[in-house]
Copies of this chain bind each other. A is one copy, B any other.
Amino acid sequence: MIKVGIIGATGYAGGELVRILMNHKDVEIKWYGSRSYIDKKYFQVYRNMFEIVEDVCKDDNINELADQVDVIFTATPQGFLAGILTEEILNKVKIVDLSADYRIKDVAVYEKWYGIEHKSPQFIEEAVYGLCEINRGKINEKTRLVANPGCYTTCSILTAYPLVKEGLIDASTLIVDAKSGTSGAGRGAKVPNLYCEVNENIKAYGVASHRHTPEIEEQLGYAGGKEVVLNFTPHLVPMNRGILVTEYATLVKKADGSLPTYEEIKAAYDKYYANEKFVRVLEKGECPETKWVEGSNYVDVNFVIDERTGRIIMMGALDNLVKGAAGQAVQNMNILFGLDEAAGLDLIPCFP
């Protein structure tokens, strides 16, 4: 039985971790950390957990926690983990960090986009970027620190990855137009997240400045073997869960000047995803819908070639709280402990 602690258990991602781990047979949650609700019953914060979770919320004393559990999930604000992490902690416990603290290898880039100083850059090198389908080979029972990818990022990268990797698109032309449900904004009480402000409304935000941009660029840069600079534009959509990305790029013409065919592009996706349980390459002509993956760990991807413009339109959909946060974190935990990667993640998408 793997003993688990969660710091930030009362945010939306923390709540989703609890939902998933409650049905994971090899796991026992020992610590529900929540600075805001210390000593309150967890089910009093999330009433859906009434008669399911009896524990009370504890503080975020990571040193004490590290003695009691095998793995800690940190679903905490940017900078929190970086500010408290020590070699001593990492010697005692594995950490899957759902924040961005260790996702970006270049600390200057992190500090520029996040606007905060990184307090423990010495662990960045060691941290594995936990995009399981791409990096699982780098994660094993010796790994101490996993940087769990962001929601926008997971969706954006997986949607374009095979084509960047195979050199089928010109990555310098890549544009990512992303649409997210509102749970991505967290449970903080702010006017722009009130029901009446979000409902019956759609808007872009963080245009040309959203923090997930360098994370996407870095990972696609590794895939393509050279630096990628791209446009990423997030939008807020009136729904609870789900991210949809629509990505545009110019196709690299073949030697004879023609565009790659549908079959050639499809083959590239299949090369990387045919054996991936959690990435579904849809049938020709089907556009991903966030509803088809809701509540599950799936990412659905597909594409359309536009012969007129020479561009390809790639699309991807996932549940931002599952594959975009808690589900992927559990997937990483499974790999860390040598379990079946899908353990506890047999979540059938819920429709309607």
Interface residues, chain A, CB within 8 Å of chain B?
12, 15, 19, 22-23, 46-52, 175, 177, 179, 181-183, 187, 189-191, 193-205, 207-208, 229-231, 233, 235, 237-242, 244, 246, 248, 280, 282-283, 286-296, 300, 304-306, 308-309, 311, 313, 315, 317, 346, 348-352
Contacts and interface: CB of A to CB of B under 8 A. Distances in A.
A136 to B, nearest CB: 19
A200 B349 CA distance: 13
A191 B189 contact: yes
A177 B207 contact: no
Contact of A292 (B47, B241, B306, B349): B47
Nearest to A295: B350
A241 B182 contact: no
Contacts of A195: 182, 193-195, 197-199, 238, 240
Contacts of A198: 195
A351 B196 CA distance: 9
21 contacts: A19-B350, A47-B286, A47-B289, A48-B292, A51-B280, A193-B194, A197-B352, A200-B200, A200-B239, A200-B291, A201-B239, A201-B289, A203-B288, A204-B287, A208-B304, A229-B308, A231-B311, A235-B244, A240-B352, A241-B352, A248-B248
Interchain residue pairs A-B with the least CB separation, the first 5: A48-B349, A196-B352, A201-B291, A208-B306, A203-B289
Copies of this chain present in the complex amount to 4
Contacts of A282: 47, 50
A104 to B, nearest CB: 16
A46 B315 CA distance: 19
Nearest to A311: B231
A182 B199 CA distance: 10
Contacts of A287: 203-205, 207
A49 B231 CA distance: 31
A313 to B, nearest CB: 5
Contact of A202 (B194, B242, B306): B242
Given A12-B352, A194-B193, A235 B239 contact: no
A230 B248 CA distance: 11
Nearest to A53: B348
A204 to B, nearest CB: 5
Contacts of A244: 202-204, 235
A241 B292 CA distance: 16
Nearest to A217: B308
Nearest to A278: B51
Nearest to A179: B202
B291 A48 contact: yes
A238 B240 contact: no
B280 A202 contact: no
Contacts of A50: 280, 282-283, 292, 300
Given A199-B352, A200-B242, 4 more contacts: A19-B351, A193-B196, A195-B238, A295-B295
A21 to B, nearest CB: 10
Contacts of A193: 194-196
A23 B348 contact: yes
Contacts of A230: 309
Nearest to A296: B48
A140 B206 CA distance: 43
